Chains A and B, each alone.
Chain A
Amino acid sequence: MKHILRIFTIVLTVLMLCAAVVGCDYRRPNTDDEGGGLQADYEIDFNLPVSTKATISVIIPDNDNERKIINSVIAGFQEKYPNVTVETNFLTIDSYEQTVTKQYSADVLADVIWCNSQNYYFLVSNGYALNLDNFTEDAEAANLFNYEEDFSTEFKGMGLFNDVRYAVPRSIDSVICFYNKEILSAAGVDMSIVQNGWTWEDMLTVCAKVRQYYDGKGQDTYFPLDSNLTWESVAYPVIKSLGGEVLNEDGEFALTEEASKDIVAFVQNLVTKRYIPSSNEQTSSFESGTGALLFQSTSIDNYQTRALLKDKFDVVSFPLINGENSYSGMGFAGYALNSHLKDDADQLNVAAAFLAYLMSYDGQQRVADEGGLTLPSIRADLSVDNPEANWHKKYSATFNVEAYTWGAQYKTREEFLDNTKAIFTSSLISAMNKYVGSYAVREPNNAYKYFKEEVEYVFDSVVS
């Protein structure tokens, strides 16, 4: 028995070692390689016959909004290509990385992958998302769109890494300010200052009034502002507006102590005046109808469909922090193509046609109409000035929908990430979010030190 076990163990070990070693394909770090999907050596044939028969798959988060959106795209796409079947797979956002990694490794990941600005870098750094340079070129060559003319400035700044496109946003997600009209009115706020282009000082004036109102009602644990400072689309514009930068062009930590002092003081001003909580003491929230202001990029529809908020709120542009040197954030939700597709030309052609349809005039109108997406379209010809644009038709009479598109010159993405390798991006974003939203709130004296330490750790963590 001992011998059998011994032999079994040896055979098993050898087999495992062989299996593991066979899979080894050493990729040494290359200083020219910024990480990510790298490859663009493919061609797409957009001239698909109407009779094309194929099955492609899309993976999206398991929620009604996204399901509705993708179903509207699928319906429109199938009108063009009736013999193409589009299967929908689902994942939960909490286990996004885990699910995508497992499915990609097992080669069962969907052809079209949903992503947002948070997990997009994860797709790029692991090479799961296909470099879409050729996609854009081939689509232009097939006269599907004119990239420069057909799309908004915001669109052209999103879904990129190192100026290479890896994802197509399905809409423009600009950070704006949602406000509860009832609370502001009850607090006696002068509504004339709550206009697109208002400043941070204007917003502080509103916060002061609401604070007074809460205190008068004995609502100590209510706070006027849901600031979302731990979200990069708020945290980075704060840093940048106050003269700071996370990394310089050489990819080195660039935030100075001077700039950090201003940033920390800026955050502390909110804390000491009790406009935002210093710890987990908050019991109010905009979503529950008890908070006054919220920085978010979601659609009006998202709150208008909730009984607690229906017809009680409106939106306004993100307040300008530092005059003309102000920045406001953008995020996005959209779709990437699985990088495995570059080895399967037929499948790639159909998946790319699907993505191109999403970007088309018809696709965008459907997403807004049947899909119910009330965020601004990525297309320039479906801007807020176009009365036929479905995305704002429903709300333009009752809501300040221009807030989403106001001040394109102030909008920024996390450009500093272009100066480093994709593998560091998730950790750097996490460190930045903690700095603004956590350390600057709770430990103003150590915030800079902690942030610097974390960024240095991110860079030191590659074992060679």
Chain B
Amino acid sequence: MYSTASSRKKEKAERTVGGVPSPAAPRQYTRLQKFWKDNREGWMFVLPLVIGLGVFTVYPMFQSLIWSFFNYTGDTYFYPVGLNNYISILTKDPYFWQVFGNTCYYVFVSVPIVLVSGYLLACLVNLPYKSIGFFRVVFYLPCVIPGIVSGILWGDMFSTNGVFNKLLALFGCHSDFFQSGNSFVAISSIFLMNLWSIGGGMILWLSAFKAIPAQLYEAAQIDGAGRFARFWHITIPQSAPMIFFNIVTMLIGTFQYNGTLVFASNNGEGYRNAMNMFAVYIYNQAFRASKWGYASALSWLLLIFVGIVTGIMFWLRSRIMKED
């Protein structure tokens, strides 16, 4: 509560004796003053960041929220349409649900694959073998190759005469990979490509493993725990916070995946929208079709969806923690 005029008068009277200020009475601060006194250095330090966030994140967010209620197409149209952008997306847009399905398929398959493979790889390179550093470097190396280069490289490897089709040809098979009109095939090719860069996740896991006290493993070993038991009862529980952090950040990041803009045909959509995902769709609606209002509404739908999924993750986590 803020101090009212009467309460401040009362406080003042309490601090005076016969109208003379008591020298011993400490100065009383309002909550706001106290907050400022206690935190001003901190606020001054983070002020540039706060201003940056306000100008470059918060303001555009609100701006896009407002635009999402407008038909806004550059200089041509700008008039309010209420919720019609949202209604149009959900009920009329012939591509939206395909885009939504593609994104969900990509997120809910890609995240576990990358997470588990990165985790297992980190377990392997955490083993106390000689020259293990060499393998760490080798696995991490693809991460330093720019995305655009690896996109071109993988486009070549997945081409009709690329290395993968040559391997498949040994078994009498063939795949169009990125060029396929089938979303299942086209998006699955990205999973394969993503394995190329799991070294990035590996490093994070490795740092989490290094933070686990060695005494725990020693005690377990003395108690007769085998390798698997140590992994199951120590490594996994001890890295649980990191696992949760990685799952949440990866989910959020993967929902916004727009890598297909680099290597897929038709402005990142692939053949007949086979690889068209949420972020790519938003980008193309905004920057190629100049439908800023529509793209803003799509962005807010993505935000809501990511929010729901993240909320479910936190709920699941609290349930698991309760059960434990």
In the complex, A344 has a CB within 8 A of chain B: no
Nearest Cβ distance between residue A12 and chain B, in whole angstroms?
Answer: 7
CB distance from B91 to the nearest CB of A (A): 11
Question: What residue of chain B has the Cβ atom nearest to residue A19's Cβ?
Answer: B59
Most buried by A among B59, B66, B74, B267: B74
Chain A residue numbers with a CB within 8 Å of B288 are: 97, 426-427, 430
Across the interface, which residues of A come within 8 angstroms of B244, CB to CB?
A: none
Q: Is the CB of A427 within 8 A of B161?
A: no
Give the Cβ gap from A52 to chain B, nearest Cβ, in Å: 30
The distance from the CB of A127 to the nearest CB of chain B, in whole angstroms, is 3
- Chain A residues 3 to 29 lying within 8 A of chain B, measured CB to CB, are 3-4, 12-13, 16-17, 19-21, 24-29
Q: Is the CB of B94 within 8 A of A453?
A: yes
List residues of chain A with CB within 8 A of the CB of B62: 13, 16-17, 20
In Å, the complex CA distance between A420 and B176 comes to 36
A279–B179 touching, CB < 8 Å: yes
Please name all residues of chain B whose beta carbon is closer than 8 Å to the beta carbon of A126 when the two chains form the complex: 73-76, 290
Q: How far is the CB of B131 from chain A (nearest CB, A)?
A: 39
> Which residues on the B side are within 8 Å of A250 (C-beta)?
none
> Which of B76, B92, B95 meets A423, CB within 8 Å?
B76
Contact B85 A463 (CB under 8 A): yes
A377 to B261, CA, bound (A): 36
Q: How large is the interface on A (under 10, 10 to 19, 20 to 34, 35 or more residues)?
A: 35 or more
* Proximity bits, B154-194, A CB within 8 Å = 1, else 0: 00000111000000000000001001010000000000000
User: Is A120's beta carbon under 8 Å from chain B?
Assistant: no
Q: How far is the CB of A172 from chain B (nearest CB, A)?
A: 27
Q: Do residues A20 and B63 form an inter-chain contact, with CB atoms below 8 A? A: yes
Q: B293 on the interface (CB 8 Å rule)?
A: yes
Instruction: Give the complex CA separation of A53 and B125 in angstroms.
Output: 67
Does A221 contact B79, Cβ atoms closer than 8 Å?
A: no
Which residue, B75, B77, B88, B288, has most C-beta atoms of chain A within 10 A? Answer: B75
B2 surroundings in chain A (CB, below 8 A)? 3
Judging by beta carbons under 8 Å apart, are B271 and A438 in contact? yes
Determine whether the beta carbon of A26 is less than 8 Å from that of B294.
no
A460 at the interface (CB under 8 A from B): yes
Q: Is A307 an interface residue (CB 8 A)?
A: no
Flag if B287 contacts A97 (CB, 8 Å).
Answer: yes
Q: How many residues of B contact A (CB 8 A)?
A: 46
Q: Which residues of B contact A19 (CB under 8 A)?
A: 59
Contact B287 A460 (CB under 8 A): no
Complex: chain A residue closest to B85, CB-CB = A463
Given contacts A4-B32, A4-B35, contact A442 B94 (CB under 8 A): no
A464 & B76 in contact (Cβ 8 Å cutoff): no
- Confirm or deny: A237 has a beta carbon within 8 angstroms of a beta carbon on chain B: no
Q: Is the CB of B85 within 8 A of A450?
A: no
Interface string of B265-303 (1 = CB under 8 A from A): 111000110000000000000011111011000000000
Nearest Cβ on chain A to B280's Cβ, whole angstroms: 14
B160 and A125 contacting across the interface, CB-CB below 8 Å:
no
B74 with A125: CB separation less than 8 A? yes
- Are B161 and A281 in contact, CB atoms less than 8 angstroms apart? yes
CA distance A443 to B92 in the complex (A): 25
CB–CB B71/A463 < 8 A: yes
Q: Which residues of A contact B307 (CB under 8 A)?
A: none
Whether A29 contacts B79 in the complex (CB less than 8 A), given A4-B32, A283-B161, comes out as: yes
Central interface residue in B81, B92, B181, B287, by most chain A CB within 10 Å: B287
Residues of chain B contacted by A453 (CB below 8 angstroms): 94
**A36, B31: Cα distance in complex, Å:** 56
Q: From residue 221 to 243 of chain A, which have CB atoms closer than 8 A to chain B?
A: 221
Which of A27, A442, A460 sits near B271, CB closer than 8 Å?
A: A442
Q: Is A457 an interface residue (CB 8 A)?
A: yes
Residues of B within 8 A of A28 (CB): 77, 79
CA distance A434 to B74 in the complex (A): 25
A3 to B34, CA, bound (A): 13
B73 touches A423 (CB 8 A): yes
Chain A residues closer than 8 Å to B76, beta-carbon distance: 27, 33, 35-36, 125-127, 421-423
A191 part of interface (Cβ distance < 8 Å) = no
Query: Are A427's CB and B78's CB within 8 A?
Result: no
Assembled-state Cα–Cα distance A399/B159 (Å): 36
Q: Mark A334-352, 1 if CB is under 8 A from B, else 0.
A: 0000010000000000000
> Is A98's beta carbon under 8 Å from chain B?
yes
Question: Could you pull out 30 A-B pairs where Cβ atoms are within 8 angstroms?
Answer: A1-B31, A3-B2, A16-B59, A16-B62, A17-B62, A20-B63, A26-B79, A26-B80, A27-B75, A27-B78, A29-B77, A37-B75, A126-B74, A126-B76, A126-B290, A127-B75, A128-B74, A221-B160, A277-B160, A279-B176, A283-B161, A422-B76, A423-B76, A423-B77, A426-B288, A427-B289, A442-B271, A443-B181, A460-B92, A462-B71
Q: Which of B's residues lie within 8 Å of A, judged by CB?
A: 2, 31-32, 35, 54, 58-59, 62-63, 66, 70-71, 73-81, 84-85, 88, 92-95, 159-161, 176, 179, 181, 265-267, 271-272, 287-291, 293-294
Q: What 5 A-B pairs have minimum CB-CB distances, sorted nearest first? A: A127-B75, A126-B74, A281-B160, A16-B62, A20-B66
